[in-house]
Structure 1
Amino acid sequence: MHQPFADSMKPRGYRGRFAPSPSGPLHAGSLVAALGSYLDAKAQQGLWFVRIEDIDPPREVPGAADTILGQLDAHGLHWDGDVSWQSQHSARYQDIIAQLQNAGLVYACHCTRAEIKQRGDHYDGFCRNRQQQVMQSSRRYALRFRNTQPITELHDRFHGSVPLALSMAKEDFILRRRDQLWAYQLAVVTDDRDAEISHIVRGEDLLVASGWQMTLWQQLNTLSADPVALPNLAHLPLVRDEQGQKLSKQNHAPALNNHQVIPNLVSACHYLGLHAIQEGDYNNTDTLLRAATEQWQQIHCK
């Protein structure tokens, strides 16, 4: 199943977002993602929202959310409206689970990662037809999406047509984890649909996850009296270290220095292909971001 084009339903104004997790401060890689999504929104006279994805307490760093918001503000990346917090949306996630359960699209799975790995590279649907055994067991279980109509090809503005490996695309991915925390796929799709996000601009490491998310989004549309058009997707190049590894909080990438905002923004612009932005030409974030927005518009919004 191919991803339907984003304009297949009623059109809506541009609504973009940046959605960091509070597992640490922003670094150079996350600034590229934030700046890319910001420029795309502003170049198309759109709205740009910020959502803090704080649904994984074991990974959260105290104070990180405030640090992230302060870093965005210091770099001139000012958002529209109020900041959204995923931790406040639990009732909504439960409502979506109930809708999917009523449609027979959710099942319990008590497989551990080790057990899944022993059987192959991807989850093989082991518990799909073993619900009586799973529910009679004392083991903790996750809730999985019964993935009957997977999207196997994405339309991406930067990558073109992107075929997805069938073994991964058709996997029954997790909606609620064995520790009872909400899974990323469920939370991000629920929030993006509720906010009527029209454009998603983020790192290309999430291309595979985008397949699952568009599959879930499309399935929820079939269950809804008021479906939301699938978003336009654009996946940005990743920032890597000298060893070729993606910069990440897990790899202890250094935090952005709020006293070096112009060099930080110029470096991020260069990663995004905006090479005409040079450090000596700007003495404040407003003029730099205006110039970067104009360049982005010329390159990506024709």
Structure 2
Amino acid sequence: MTDIISDVSMVQTLCDPGEGKKAEEFYNHTDGERFDTVKNFYFQQHVQQTYDFAISKMKKYEDMDKLMLDPWSALELGGSFTDDSDPDTELDQIYHSFQVAEALRKLYPDEEKYGWLHLTGLIHDLGKILTPAFGEPQWCNVGDTFPVGCMFERVGVFPEYFDYNPDLKHPVYSTKLGIYEPKCGLNNLIMSFSHDEYLYKVLTHEKNASQFTEKKLPIQSYYMIRYHSFFPWHKFEAYTCFENEIDKENKHWVQIFASFDLYSKAHDIVDIESVKPYYQNLMKQYLPAKIYF
């Protein structure tokens, strides 16, 4: 796995955004056709994602007793809506998932060596099932993520909206470290509630993790799933005071994956039926036959 591309600019080139859109035009939150939708989304998210809210939501789903689906059905259900936080695409999420997976497969075609990576590309947004399955509003499902219980760092998308978050007035949550210790590790942070953290908790929950699978996803896959939306950390170098050595070792994997996640959106729509057998086989190898949500 050490030969994976580590230069983000190279990933931009190899993903070939196409003549219609330059690489620097992606992740644009200043104008564009979807600007009003995206702006409204982030206002709602930044104002309502508090420490208490995140804790209450994870408590709600901690038993993973609300739904049981086979992986392919979960993919179809979770991909059945358009992400209001995304300025780069109006496609339903399932098409985006296949664009990412196929972009990774194109550059790393060795199934034996990188099958886990192809599958990670496909399922990285599976947690977005929160909206179509359980009716969760998009502002607590999609979009960039950030820690709660500590000061909001002023980077990324519309950081000024944090001024309206009630935690800004909390005597502890409003401080640099908040409730955490330096170098405590990202694993010990309470993140804003989202599809990233939710899917990580789904896959690692005893009901799912204890089921037999032929192969296991590596730690790099879990980092990609859990932190690909944590742009303040992997893009803007914020919250690094909480990093431990394991976070540092895996950060570049998240950065590379985030580039595929971003720049593959300009690709043509994937013919899902033609690639379905390949990904169903990967699901059979790495995922439980039934997933508890």
TM-score, normalised on structure 2? Answer: 0.28
Considering fraction of residues, name the structure with more strand. Answer: 1
Considering fraction of residues, name the structure with more helix. Answer: 2
TM-score, normalised on structure 1? Answer: 0.27
Larger Rg: 1
Which structure is richer in relative contact order (CA contacts within 8 A, separation 6 or more)? 2
